[in-house]
C-alpha cells in the first residue's frame, strides 16, 4: 500500500500549492508603459475632453475620498476607516513618484473597471470599483485626461493597517467571487434614454449603492441588494432606502423634490446632512439639470420592497411618546411646526421625512444631538441651521422626542430607547 501513501502525499502537496497560489500568487499583469499606450498625448491635451473629465470626476465625487481635511484636492493623504482596518487613500494627481504620473490610460481603466492596480494587484473595495466597473471607456478616458491635467502633488501614500487575513491582497480573490461582477453598464432597451442615463449615473459614477445598501459582515453588498438603504459602517449614519418605499424610502417624492435635494441640499421632503451633505456640496450640486432629472426618473422607477426592518418595539411606547410630545412642543415646534411640516425652504419637514423614519433611528438621534447647518450650495449660500441639543437634552428626552416624531403625523416607525441615544453621543468628524 505504499503507492496509496504516495498518492496521499501528492494530494496534500497539491492542496498546499493551490493554497499558496491563492494566497501569495500574483494576479498577473504588467503596467502598460505610457509610450506604449493606445491613447496619444494629443488626445489627452484636448480641452474638451479635460472639461468633460472634470465634470465626470466631480459628479463621481472622486475628491470626496481622495482629499485630506484641509489638503490639496485629489492628492490623497487620508485613510478610509473600515471595520477591517484603515485603508489609505492614494494620491491621484500626476506626480510620477507618488501619484498617477507613470500610469497609462490602460492602467487607469483597469483599476476603475477591474479593481486591479498597475501590476495586477487586487485593490481593496474601499475604492468602489464594484460600481465603477459600470463606467464606460469614454468616460474613463475623460476622467483620466482630467486627472493627468492636474498640478502634480508629491504626497506618498501610507501603508494600510489592515488586520490578518485582510492584509493579504489575495484574500480579495474570495471576496471578489462573492461580491464583484465586472462589466460595463448595459442599457435596457425597454426603458427611455433618460432612465438609462439615470441608471448609469446611479449605478456607476455616482456609486450610490456603496452607501445606500447594507453591507454584510465581510463588508460586501450581496448582488441582489440595490439601494435598499443601509447603515454606513464606522460613520454611523443611515443612508436611506432610495426606492419608492413607504416609511423610510422616497414614497411621495416628486421628480422636483429629488432634483432639489441633489441641487440645493434641501427639498420639500427633507434636507441632507452628514455624509450626504458633503456629497451635495462637493458633487451633486454641479450636476446638469438633465442628469439630475435622469437620476430622479431612475429612482422613481424603483419599486417599493417588503420592509426588511425589524418589528417595532412596543415597550411602554405610549408614555415615551407622550413625554416626547412635551419635549417637541418646547424645543422643536417653533421651527418644525406642530404639524411636522417645517417651513418651506427653511426648516425641513419631519412628517414623511425618510431620515426620520429610516429603520435604525440613527439619523434622527445624531441630528438632534449635533444640529448643524443645511448644506452650503450655490442655490442656498446662507443656509439656516439647527442648534445642537447634546448639552440640553438627556438620553431619555432625546429618545422620547425621536420616538414621538417617528410615530406622529403619517410616520410609522419604531420607538427609540435611551440606550440607543447614548451610543451616538460622540461627534463624528468624518
Partner 1 sequence: MPVRRSWARAYNGRMNTNTSLRHAKLFSAASVLMVALLSVAPSHAADEQPVPDTLQQRIATCTACHGVNGEGSPGSGYFPRLAGKPAAYLARQMQDFQNGLRKYAPMEYTVRQLSPAYMREIAEYFAAQEVPYEHSPLPPVSPATLARGEQLVEKGDPERKIPACASCHGSQLTGVEPSIPGLVGLPYDYISAQLGSWRTNTRATVEPDCMSAVANRLSESDITAVAAALASRELPADTHAQPAGSVEPPLPCGVLGAAGGPA
Taking the C-alpha atoms of residue 424 and residue 418, their distance in angstroms, rounded to an integer, is 11
286: left (phi over 0), alpha (psi -120 to 50) or beta: alpha
Compare residues 26 and 387 and give the one whose CB is closer to partner 1: 387
Is there binding between residue 328 and partner 1 (CB under 8 A)?
A: no
- Tell me which of 370, 398, 405, 413 binds partner 1, using CB under 8 A: 370
Compare residues 99 and 274 and give the one whose CB is closer to partner 1: 274
- Listing DSSP states for 107-143 in one string gives HHHHHHHH-B-TTSPBPPTTS-HHHHTTS-HHHHHHH
Is there binding between residue 337 and partner 1 (CB under 8 A)?
A: yes
- Tell me which of 185, 195, 384, 409 binds partner 1, using CB under 8 A: 384
Applying the rule CB under 8 A, the residues between 275 and 304 that interact with partner 1 are 277-278, 281
Q: Which residue in this structure is represented by grid cell 508629491? A: 154
Stretch that binds partner 1, among 145-153, 201-209, 314-322, 338-346 (CB under 8 A): 338-346
- Tell me which of 28, 47, 70, 303 binds partner 1, using CB under 8 A: 70
Taking the C-alpha atoms of residue 226 and residue 358, their distance in angstroms, rounded to an integer, is 16
Is there binding between residue 386 and partner 1 (CB under 8 A)?
A: yes
How far, in Å, are 58, 353, 383, 391, 426 from residue 370 at the CA level?
A: 28, 18, 16, 10, 9
How far, in Å, are 371, 402, 411 from residue 351 at the CA level?
A: 18, 12, 6
Applying the rule CB under 8 A, the residues between 340 and 359 that interact with partner 1 are 343, 346-347
Taking the C-alpha atoms of residue 84 and residue 167, their distance in angstroms, rounded to an integer, is 9
DSSP character at residue 90: P
Q: Measured from the CB of residue 376, what is the shortest distance to partner 1 in angstroms?
A: 5
Q: Measured from the CB of residue 428, what is the shortest distance to partner 1 in angstroms?
A: 7
Is there binding between residue 234 and partner 1 (CB under 8 A)?
A: no
Residues 6+ apart with CB under 8 A from 20: none
- Tell me which of 385, 410, 412, 422 binds partner 1, using CB under 8 A: 385
Compare residues 45 and 385 and give the one whose CB is closer to partner 1: 385
Stretch that binds partner 1, among 123-131, 152-160, 194-202, 274-282 (CB under 8 A): 274-282
Is there binding between residue 409 and partner 1 (CB under 8 A)?
A: no
- Listing DSSP states for 384-428 in one string gives -EE---TTTS-HHHHHHHHHHHHTSTT-------HHHHHTT-SPP
Per the DSSP assignment, residues forming a β-bridge with 266 are: 271
Summarize as ranges the residues that interact with partner 1 (CB under 8 A): 69-70, 277-278, 281, 334-335, 337-338, 343, 346-347, 370-373, 375-376, 381-388, 390-392, 426-429
Amino acid at each position: 500500500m505504499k503507492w496509496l501513501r504516495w498518492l496521499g502525499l501528492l494530494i496534500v502537496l497539491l492542496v498546499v500549492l493551490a493554497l499558496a497560489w491563492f494566497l501569495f500568487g500574483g494576479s498577473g499583469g504588467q503596467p502598460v508603459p505610457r509610450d506604449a499606450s493606445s491613447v496619444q498625448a494629443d488626445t489627452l491635451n484636448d480641452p474638451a475632453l479635460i472639461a468633460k473629465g472634470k465634470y465626470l470626476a466631480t459628479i463621481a465625487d472622486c475628491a470626496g475620498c481622495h482629499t485630506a481635511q484641509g489638503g490639496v484636492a485629489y492628492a490623497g493623504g487620508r485613510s478610509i476607516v473600515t471595520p477591517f482596518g484603515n485603508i489609505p487613500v492614494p494620491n491621484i494627481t500626476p506626480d510620477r513618484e507618488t501619484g498617477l504620473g507613470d500610469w497609462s490610460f490602460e492602467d487607469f481603466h483597469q483599476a476603475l473597471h477591474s479593481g486591479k492596480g498597475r501590476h495586477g494587484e487586487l485593490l481593496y473595495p474601499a475604492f468602489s470599483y464594484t460600481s465603477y466597473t459600470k463606467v464606460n471607456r469614454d468616460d474613463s478616458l475623460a476622467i483620466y485626461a482630467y486627472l493627468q491635467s492636474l498640478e502634480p502633488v508629491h504626497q506618498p501614500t501610507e501603508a494600510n493597517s489592515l488586520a490578518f487575513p485582510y492584509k493579504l491582497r489575495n484574500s480579495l480573490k474570495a471576496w471578489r467571487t462573492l461580491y464583484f461582477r465586472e462589466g460595463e453598464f448595459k442599457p435596457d432597451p425597454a426603458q427611455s434614454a433618460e432612465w438609462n442615463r439615470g441608471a448609469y449615473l446611479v449605478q456607476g459614477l455616482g456609486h450610490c449603492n456603496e452607501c445606500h445598501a447594507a453591507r454584510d459582515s465581510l463588508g460586501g453588498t450581496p448582488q441582489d441588494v440595490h439601494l435598499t438603504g443601509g447603515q454606513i459602517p464606522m460613520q454611523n449614519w443611515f443612508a436611506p432606502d432610495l426606492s419608492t418605499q413607504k416609511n423610510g424610502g422616497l414614497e411621495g417624492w416628486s421628480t422636483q423634490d429629488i432634483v432639489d435635494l441633489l441641487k440645493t441640499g434641501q427639498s420639500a421632503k427633507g434636507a441632507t446632512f452628514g455624509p450626504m451633505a458633503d456629497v451635495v456640496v462637493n458633487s451633486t450640486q454641479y450636476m446638469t439639470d438633465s442628469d439630475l432629472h435622469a437620476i430622479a426618473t431612475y429612482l422613481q422607477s424603483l419599486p417599493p420592497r417588503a420592509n426588511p426592518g425589524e418589528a417595532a418595539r412596543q415597550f411602554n411606547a405610549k408614555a415615551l411618546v407622550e413625554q416626547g410630545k412635551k419635549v417637541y412642543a418646547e424645543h422643536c415646534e417653533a421651527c418644525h411646526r406642530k404639524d411636522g411640516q417645517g417651513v418651506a425652504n427653511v426648516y425641513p419637514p419631519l412628517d414623511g421625512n425618510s431620515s426620520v423614519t429610516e429603520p435604525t433611528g440613527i439619523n434622527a438621534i445624531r441630528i438632534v444631538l449635533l444640529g448643524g447647518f443645511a448644506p452650503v450650495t450655490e442655490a442656498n449660500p446662507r443656509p439656516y441651521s439647527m442648534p445642537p441639543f447634546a448639552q440640553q437634552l438627556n438620553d431619555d428626552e432625546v429618545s422620547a422626542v425621536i420616538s414621538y416624531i417617528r410615530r406622529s403625523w403619517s410616520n410609522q416607525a419604531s420607538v427609540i430607547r435611551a440606550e440607543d441615544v447614548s451610543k451616538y453621543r460622540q461627534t463624528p468628524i468624518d
